[in-house]
Amino acid sequence: MRYLPLTEPDRRAMLSRIGVLDIESLFKDVPDAARLRGPVDLPSFKGEIEVERLFAAMAAKNLGTARAPSFLGAGAYRHHVPAAVDALIQRGEFLTSYTPYQPEIAQGTLQYLFEFQTQVALITGMDVANASMYDGASAAAEAVMMATRITRHGRAVLSGGLHPHYREVIATHARFLGFTLDLAAPDPNGAEDLIPRINQGTSCVVVQYPGFFGHLRDYAALAEAAHKVGALLVVVVTEPVALGAVTAPGDMGADIVVGEGQPIGNALSFGGPYVGLFATREKYVRQMPGRLAGQTVDKDGRRGFVLTLSAREQHIRREKATSNICTNSGLCALAFTIHLSLLGEAGFARLARLNHLAALRLSERLAGVPGVEILNDNFFNEFTLRLPVPAAGVVENLAGRGILGGVPASRLYPAEANLADLLIVAATELNTDEDGERLVSGLREVLR
């Protein structure tokens, strides 16, 4: 490592101090299959212009959402982000502040975190929200951990309508933290009944709203059943724009609401960085992970902002911390806050209506394609098609025609043969009638 200013005697002294023989001993827990035994096969040097050309050529092999009608969804959604968002997040008081340890010099950061929390609490129908989490999946895992602490029970029930990536992240945490999972089978028809799975040892029931396959359900009865045995209802929202049109999870009895904030103010960005949402009831606030920004006044009576609660391991004794989340996706949270502020309450509701209408018009057209069955009797801006052939091949064929036709369920559930013919399709305010007609025509040709 030519960039590390360590001599060979330095390295020997360090290895001796920690009690290992050589550098290789430090990596003994890494599986052999995951280790490289030689340099990566890359050119050793290219000039800046050459690198730009090389990567531009590589990028041109992808069919991006800016170059084709896109109906991709399944947890990440393409919406219009006003140019003002990008301009405002680059202001110095926001962009240069990493984390608000010193409130007297981080008022800009603390204020937008306070506004972010307020917005998340309002749209989810909850009492309080934090600021903020890595992404929706890790927020869901934190919610299950929080429910385990509150109820002192170690069994979580996970809906078959929960995004499979979220299920996997929760399962990873369960493996190392000792709680167990009751995993319902994938639910493409939106007909599962989770109430019989709830018992005295249940810490929480985790559902998605709208569901992974697009279904909208009223979870009030499920919340009541969970509360009867002391369990909590955790509602996951991967498309927060839906909250401008549907009943808020808090109004259905949810105890914790988590979600993905990417669809508001943040681009798809090929998978990140994203921003997690986390809201709960006030009585559970001290078990909430992350940080809480609050409003106060200084000695002269002027409004100011501070960190009111910091229940993470950087701030308090590690054994007392509720979370080891060590950053807060602050810039993405700021983009979320600015976009939602620009929309306002009326604009947010109108955006939601536009999304629903776009999906409704598209579903009506697709229903007329021979061999296509729509599985949803209700949805927001995403629904599931059953095709007469495996969906993965259809998607590839459509991509060859310059259409990003949706996400095959087999892409996220490769082991579930019964889902191979399912295609998840999303439509947002960015999808025009012409886009929809291209998808319908493409499907007719592919399925002919």
Q: How confident is the model at residue 98 (pLDDT cuts 50, 70, 90)?
A: low
Helix (H, G, I), strand (E, B) or coil at 310: strand
**pTM reported for the whole predicted model:** 0.90
Residue type, 423: L
Q: How confident is the model at residue 144 (pLDDT cuts 50, 70, 90)?
A: very high
pLDDT of residue 312: 58
What's the rounded mean pLDDT across residues 130-159? 96
Same domain, 310 and 334: yes
- Chain segment 129-143, per-residue pLDDT in tens: 998 899 999 999 999
* Residue 195, token pair as written in the block: 């109430």
What mean pLDDT value characterizes the chain? 93
**What radius of gyration, in Å, describes the C-alpha atoms of the chain?**
24
Tell me whether residue 183 is exposed, middle or buried, using C-beta atoms within 10 angstroms of its C-beta: 0 to 12, 13 to 18, 19 or more.
middle
Residue type, 113: L
Q: How confident is the model at residue 313 (pLDDT cuts 50, 70, 90)?
A: low
Domain span holding position 411:
343-447
Cα–Cα dist 11/8, whole Å: 5
Of 6, 56, 68, give the one whose Cα is nearest residue 432. Answer: 68
- CATH number for position 318: 3.40.640.10
- Chain segment 371-408, per-residue pLDDT in tens: 999 999 999 999 999 999 999 999 999 999 999 999 99
Q: Vertex 368, ends 367 and 370: CA angle to 5°?
A: 100
pLDDT of residue 225: 98
Same domain, 224 and 366: no
- Chain segment 216-230, per-residue pLDDT in tens: 999 999 999 999 999
Angle between helices 433-447 and 330-366 (to 10 degrees): 60
Same domain, 164 and 280: yes
Cis peptide before 388 (omega within 30 of 0): no
Cα–Cα dist 223/282, whole Å: 17
Q: Are 126 and 254 in contact (CB under 8 A)?
A: yes
Same domain, 149 and 213: yes
- CATH number for position 426: 3.90.1150.10
pLDDT of residue 315: 61
- Range 27-54 burial, b when 16+ CB lie within 10 A, else e: eeeeeeeeeeeeeeeeeeeeeeeeeeee
State the CB neighbour count (10 A cutoff) for residue 63. 15
pLDDT of residue 311: 59
Cβ-based neighbours of 96, under 8 Å, separated by 6 or more: none
Q: Vertex 77, ends 75 and 81: CA angle to 5°?
A: 145
Same domain, 224 and 124: yes
* Residue 254, token pair as written in the block: 């949810």
pLDDT of residue 378: 96
Cα–Cα dist 291/315, whole Å: 10
Tell me whether residue 249 is exposed, middle or buried, using C-beta atoms within 10 angstroms of its C-beta: 0 to 12, 13 to 18, 19 or more.
buried
Q: How confident is the model at residue 53 (pLDDT cuts 50, 70, 90)?
A: very high
Same domain, 386 and 415: yes
Using the predicted structure, report yes or no on whether residue 153 has a pLDDT greater than 80.
yes
Same domain, 136 and 185: yes
Per the structure, the count of domains in the chain is 2
Cα–Cα dist 129/116, whole Å: 8
Cα–Cα dist 368/360, whole Å: 13
pLDDT of residue 317: 66
